[in-house]
Amino acid sequence: MNNLYGAWQARVQRGVMVLLTTLALSGVAVAAPSRTVLVLGDSLSAAYGLAANQGWVALTAQKMRTTHPKWRVVNASISGETTAGGAARIAAELKRTRPAVVVVELGANDGLRGLSLQQTRANLDRIVGASTRSGARVLMVGMRMPPNFGPTYTQGFEKNYVDLSKRYKTAFLPFLLAPIAAERKNFQADNMHPVAAAQPRLRDHVWPALQPLLK
């Protein structure tokens, strides 16, 4: 049975190769391999509390299938991820996906835990630096902390994103939740994670910053 299956598989593979060769020789265009957008984020990009296809990343991928069909999206976001986790994973993700564009959406969990601004900056620097050195274009997506964290921390937190974006000359979106942050109805019971109905607004907020990178 295994021999029969192996022979059948070999015939199929030969047939595919013959078809591709014939198309190429006849001048018919053969679709190029997909180029990749890698999203490295936390629960805000991992569709926490929702079906995976309801999140803004999946909605962006769906949009790109129409507007940029040679591109694909790989969502490497993990709920609860910190910048330290992203920094530890970035080399392997770059090797695995070989992205042309990297979207970095990390830092919210650092802030909520009151972690050192200097350490958060160093971790983001590692992520963006590695992505840039790999040849990928980078979109840095910023986050903001509530005012009860105090002006020194909240302003320093935002400044990390601004400074690193300038240093590496990345595309920059200052605040992911900007279009929905003012209305409680846009969030789940935890008042932190957006509901499904708010996800298209996040997609549309990110898109103008992402689209120019899809060259």
> pLDDT, tens digit, for every residue of 23-48?
445 554 445 548 999 999 999 999 99
Q: Choosing from 110, 165, 193, 205, which is the catalytic residue? A: 193
| CATH, residue 86 | 3.40.50.1110
Q: What pLDDT shows up at residue 35?
A: 97
42 in catalytic set: no
Mean pLDDT of the chain: 90
Question: Catalytic site residue 68?
Answer: no
- On whether both 26 and 42 belong to a single domain, the answer is no
Query: Would you tell me how many other CB atoms lie within 10 Å of the CB of residue 129?
Result: 16
Is the pLDDT confidence value at 67 over 70?
yes
Smallest Cα–Cα separation from 127: which of 106, 155, 149, 158? 106
157 and 143 both lie in a single domain: yes
158 pLDDT exceeds 50? yes
Same-domain status, 16 and 77: no
> How far, in whole angstroms, is CA 161 from its chain's centroid?
16
Cα separation, 173 vs 1, whole angstroms: 56
Percent of the chain with pLDDT over 70: 85
Residues 85 and 173 both lie in one domain: yes
Q: What is the pLDDT of residue 25?
A: 52
Let me know whether 81 and 146 are in one domain: yes
pLDDT at 45: 98
Do 8 and 61 lie in one domain? The reply is no
**Pick the catalytic residue: 43, 45, 77, 134?**
43
190 flagged as catalytic: yes
| Number of structural domains found in the chain | 2
Are residues 26 and 70 located together in one domain of the fold? no
Residues 12 and 69 in one domain: no
Looking at the structure, tell me whether residues 163 and 192 fall in a common domain: yes
**Residue 181 confidence (pLDDT) above 50:** yes
Q: Three-state secondary structure along the chain? A: CHHHHHHHHHHHHHHHHHHHHHHHHCCCCCCCCCEEEEEEECCCCCCCCCCHHHCHHHHHHHHHHHHCCCEEEEECCCCCCCHHHHHHHHHHHHHHHCCCEEEEECCHHHHHCCCCHHHHHHHHHHHHHHHHHCCCEEEEECCCCCHHHCHHHHHHHHHHHHHHHHHHCCEEECCCCCCCCCCHHHECCCCCCECHHHHHHHHHHHHHHHHHHCC
Contact 67, 131 (CB under 8 A): no
Range of the domain at 2: 1-30
* Res. 18: pLDDT tops 90: no
Can you give the pTM of this predicted structure?
0.85
Confidence (pLDDT) at 34: 87
For residues 7 and 47, membership in a common domain is answered with no
Shared domain for 108 and 65, answered yes or no, is yes
Residues 86 and 170 reside in one and the same domain:
yes
pLDDT at 4: 44
pLDDT > 90: percent of the chain = 84
